[in-house]
Amino acid sequence: MNVLGIETTCDETAAAIVAPGEDGRGVIRSNEVLSQIAEHAAYGGVVPEIAARAHVEVLDRLIARALDRAGMALKDVDGIAVAAGPGLIGGVLVGLVTAKTLALVARKPLLAVNHLEAHALTARLTDGLAFPYLLLLASGGHTQLVAVKGVGDYVRLGGTIDDAIGEAFDKVAKLLGLAYPGGPEVERMAEAGDPERFALPRPMLGRRDANFSLSGLKTALRIEAERTAPLAERDVADLCAGFQAAVVDVVVDRVRVALRTFSGVAGHPTALVAAGGVSANGAIRRALAALAGEAGLAFVAPPLALCGDNGAMIAWAGIERLRLGMTDDITAPARARWPFADVPPAEAPRAEATAG
């Protein structure tokens, strides 16, 4: 089984070919990702119209390159998976219309994948992880703690009530005059900073629920920056270090709460999993690995190349659904919003269908 995966929900255009391996993990035959960082850098963030146009300009040849590097033609794939949401609707439409066209022409099954579900299942692509496991999904647009019980079987244990973690990193970077994308820049500056110089809050610390709130932390950092201005490089490094340390403390505390509530909804977890772009942050990874060790759990995080948006995770989610008979037809909609709770479960698969 070889599945083509297409990803266009934000500012990465991606296409990949993935197959299931004998050990339960996925075999990535090709994984092509084209970032739009240069196009959006001047604006300090993603511009939806620019993103959609960029996807249109490169997607066809990126798919061709993924097929070529996998040594395959379109007729050789067994299914076409595409991220149908959530995301910037213009970009989602580009990928979905392309996938539907290819599925019609080649008469292949269409798999309309939830982008969040693809992140959630990446640990099974890379590590063959068994269900159930606790997932921290953290990116520029999402921060959730989820009990992953099976394909299409997810229980949300907590989430952010305001900013996502990645969004907060990017906003702090912009406030401090750092380059775009901001998350890696904040992490880089934090390495040389003093995390104890500025007394920044740890929002929601100690709360019995597993929710996050980061707007207060972001505001506190802005106040400290204004009080210290004009900022020298040392000031910026210390502010970044203090902010990152606060985020790490909050993440560990919130995950600890989620671990305590996990057994009540899903039994004993097989692992603690981090996914999404923020899972590339080294400080957060190290803290989560230590927490998992304390809890007697394995810690699983994707290799850095699979932390951000990519076609391999979409293809793998398509494989998970295709082998359960969960395919989609030509009416599959593009969705700007598509919560985990609305992902169709494996226990009630859709009727077998192809785009043809």
Judge whether 94 and 55 are in contact, CB under 8 Å: yes
Largest CA distance in the chain: 63
The answer to whether 142 is a known ligand-binding residue is no
Write down the pTM of the prediction.
0.93
* Domain assignment of residue 210, yes or no: yes
Q: Is 134 exposed, middle or buried (0-12, 13-18, 19+ CB in 10 A)?
A: buried
The answer to whether 76 is a known ligand-binding residue is no
Indicate whether 167 and 233 sit together in one domain: yes
Q: Which two tokens stand for residue 270?
A: 């097989």
Q: What are 128-171's pLDDT values in tens digits?
A: 999 999 999 998 889 999 999 999 999 999 999 999 999 999 99
Q: What is the pLDDT of residue 106?
A: 97
| CA–CA distance, 31 with 297 (Å, rounded to integer) | 30
Q: What are 250-305's pLDDT values in tens digits?
A: 999 999 999 999 999 999 999 999 999 999 999 999 999 999 999 999 999 999 88
Q: What is the pLDDT of residue 348?
A: 43
* Domain assignment of residue 157, yes or no: yes
Which CATH number belongs to the domain containing residue 64 in this structure? 3.30.420.40
* Domain assignment of residue 193, yes or no: yes
The answer to whether 206 is a known ligand-binding residue is no
CA gyration radius for the chain?
Answer: 20
Closest by alpha carbon to 207, among 220, 216, 195? Answer: 216
| CA–CA distance, 347 with 343 (Å, rounded to integer) | 12
Q: Which two tokens stand for residue 98?
A: 């392309």
The answer to whether 281 is a known ligand-binding residue is yes
The answer to whether 215 is a known ligand-binding residue is no
The answer to whether 115 is a known ligand-binding residue is yes
Judge whether 272 and 134 are in contact, CB under 8 Å: yes
* Domain assignment of residue 46, yes or no: yes
Strand boundaries in 139-260, DSSP class E: 143-150, 153-159
Collect the ranges in the chain with pLDDT lower than 70.
346-356
The answer to whether 55 is a known ligand-binding residue is no
Adjacency order of strands within the sheet including 298-300: 153-159, 143-150, 133-138, 271-275, 298-300
Domain count, the chain: 2
Q: What is the pLDDT of residue 229?
A: 97
Judge whether 121 and 313 are in contact, CB under 8 Å: yes
| Domain, as residue range, for 43 | 3-121+308-342
Last-in-domain residue among 269, 293, 322? 269
* Domain assignment of residue 84, yes or no: yes
* Domain assignment of residue 227, yes or no: yes
* Domain assignment of residue 300, yes or no: no
Indicate whether 162 and 213 sit together in one domain: yes
Judge whether 42 and 340 are in contact, CB under 8 Å: no
The answer to whether 119 is a known ligand-binding residue is yes
Indicate whether 38 and 83 sit together in one domain: yes
